[in-house]
Amino acid sequence: MPPHRILAALATLLALLAALPAAASGRLVVTTGPFAFDRYDDTTFRPARIRIKVTSTEGSIPFAVTGLPDGLAIDRTTATATPAGVTLTLTADNALPRRLGTVSGHLAITPTVAGKGAAASRQVLLRSFGSRTRGRTLFESRCQGCHQPNGQGSAPLLFAVFGRKAASLTTFSYSQALTDWGRTWNYPLLVSWLRDPQALVPGARMGTSVVIGLGERQRYDLVAYLRSISEGGQ
């Protein structure tokens, strides 16, 4: 092939390559989270502030933050990530402590310049609990007769029940139903247990009559108290 045709072919190839969209350079990285906003006593609210750090693996990458769940605010929704990182502050709003249960979602952290950087996401978990103060009062009036703090009652000791496998205390003889169930106690399971023990674990010794009259708020208050004594509270 004559040299001038080779040069023309190379020029055409270079023009085609130049017309291709640029490959994404670098990526965004979120270096903290997921986050839990724990509210034990909702009578006095202190906004929970959690800081997250967004870095880029290469160069500067402008980005936007979307997907904030209800109850969560952020100090800015746009910023520029660098390898050194940029810090954003998430704040729980005043409505959060008055809610029950868990609100979850994903923060989407997306580059705002086409072809620059790859997106990242981070799960955000907002947990609003009942009042451990009210829960302690309820526990002492409705539960402590059987679940005695010295472990000598007719029902098992509940200290450190969070994160404990059901029917795992060697100092208590459990029903076969609860032993076979074998789940690990957590917040939603304990709330479900206080709604209807027999619906959760058919054949368990604790009957539905024990929890009759408890409202949903009271169930969350009781579980908040159980969680507090699982973490060394009094």
* Segments of the chain scoring below 70 in pLDDT: 1-25, 32-49, 70-71, 92-105, 124-129, 231-234
pLDDT of residue 134: 86
Model's pTM, two decimal places? 0.54
Q: How far apart are CA 169 and CA 166, in angstroms?
A: 8
Q: Could you give the domains of the chain?
A: 23-128 (2.60.40.10), 132-230 (1.10.760.10)
Task: Report the amino acid identity of residue 56.
Answer: S
Q: What is the pLDDT of residues 51-60, one digit of tens each?
A: 788 998 888 9
Q: Phi and psi (nearest 5°) for 83?
A: -60, -25
CB atoms within 10 A of CB 46: 9
Specify the DSSP class assigned to residue 156.
-
Which 3 state secondary structure label does DSSP give 219?
helix
**Alpha carbons 84 and 53: distance in angstroms, whole number:** 9
pLDDT value, residue 2: 66
The β-bridge relationship of strands 120-128 and 36-37 is parallel
